[in-house]
Amino acid sequence: MNDMSIPSGAILAKLSTKMDELTPEQRKAAAWVLENPNAVGISSVRDVAEAADVKPNTVVRLARQAGFEGFEDFRIPFREAIRSGPCSFPDRARWLQSLSKDGQLGALYHDMLDAAFRNIEDTFAGISEADLRNVAKDIWTSRKVYILGVGVNHSNASNFGYLAATGMSDFHAIPRPGSTAVDDLARTDHRDILIAITCKPYRAEVVKAMAVAREQGLKIVGISDSAASPVIVGADHGFVVSADTPQFFPSSVSTIALLETLMSFVIAVASDEIVDRVETFHKRRHQLGIYVEDDTG
């Protein structure tokens, strides 16, 4: 066989059906692989042998029984499962460490770039101009805008709020320091809008705050990595972002690109007064000496 594209799940299924054909030592190794598939992708042949309490040659023979030339070929599908599958953050971190030890950082560099470009393409392939225009209009006509993100998405929300502050005054990234998202939404109503961001594993405080916002009549924009996400289901506007990445944490590349694009649409659909606000904001910053002035002419 020796097919590098075969899914790791198919290998596990094959090993399970071949248990009766294996030697006692190979069965021990196979049992360990079946119970620890994520570890296969980040372990050497000696690591597997030691963990399964067999000799390294036994592990190599097991790989050949599965249809591969050797252990290195055997573990490639397991590494791919960690790279692209729903593995835990620690498993992905261990996989990244194994790449360095194996001298494969060049491959990681390529995978990171490929994932970043692909995430942006996949995200915007599912979003139309009309989608962005409709959300932008709701944002501009709302009394107050709240953008909610926790963890890494708190930085994304804060950056969006910072950009918005150049032309809008009632734009708030939440939770505020020392507060909770639910408290921050306490005085909101149907005149306001909430933009909620969370990716797998979904943050409970974001989902709870969205439920409160819905009860209080806010319009809701959900941004997540699945159409089945709790912040997409039931939202007035939903955007699915692609967050796949070889690294251990969901990628923010497409989320940031979406938010920057959405902000440009808000500026585009806003009334003329926003241009004056932006101009006043930047003039004031120059007057306060916030920027280093360019005297080169």
Domain ranges of the chain: 8-104, 118-287
The confidence score (pLDDT) of residue 175 equals 94
Confidence of residue 11 (pLDDT cuts 50, 70, 90): confident
CA pair distance 39, 49, nearest whole angstrom: 12
Q: Which value, to the nearest 10 degrees, does the dihedral of the CA atoms of residues 134, 137, 142, 145 take?
A: 80
3-class SS at 196? strand
Model confidence over 258-269: pLDDT tens digits? 999 998 898 888
What mean pLDDT comes out for the span 203-217?
95
Dihedral sign for Cα 196, 202, 206, 209, please. Answer: positive
CA-wise closest residue to 150 among 120, 123, 116, 173 = 173
Per-state percent for the chain, helix, strand, coil, to nearest 5 = 55, 10, 35
Model confidence over 59-105: pLDDT tens digits? 898 888 888 888 888 887 877 766 655 555 555 555 555 655 565 56
Fold of 118-287: Rossmann fold (3.40.50)
The more confidently predicted of residues 184 and 278 is: 184
Structure token pair of residue 181: 């998202």
* Structure letter (DSSP) for residue 19: G
Fold of 8-104: Arc Repressor Mutant, subunit A (1.10.10)
